[in-house]
Amino acid sequence: MFNPWENGSRAYRITLLTGTGLILSGILLSVLGGALTLTPLQWGAIGLIGAGLITHLAAQLLRIRDARRRHR
């Protein structure tokens, strides 16, 4: 069975973990901002979640690139 984590490049793993970390920190800040009703914190959380999603998408593009190289 193919495992993208073990067969993925170092760049893929780092980018994937960075995106996941940004999304997690954005979710935590969103919950904290909602509990404390701090609007600027909530907007910052949205920005972190957005950056995390873009980074996660970049990781998927790296994974596609690695797969194409492997199939050649």
3-state secondary structure of 8: coil
Task: Say how many domains are in the chain.
Answer: 1
Does residue 65 belong to any structural domain of this protein?
Answer: yes
Residue 60, domain extent: 10-71
Q: Give tens-digit pLDDT for 24-34.
A: 999 999 999 99
pTM of the predicted model over 0.75: yes
Does residue 2 belong to any structural domain of this protein?
Answer: no
Instruction: Supply the pLDDT for residue 39.
Output: 93
Tokens at residue 56, please?
A: 């996660």
Q: Give tens-digit pLDDT for 18-68.
A: 999 999 999 999 999 999 999 999 999 999 999 999 999 999 999 999 888
Instruction: Supply the pLDDT for residue 28.
Output: 97
First-to-last C-alpha distance (Å) of the chain: 19
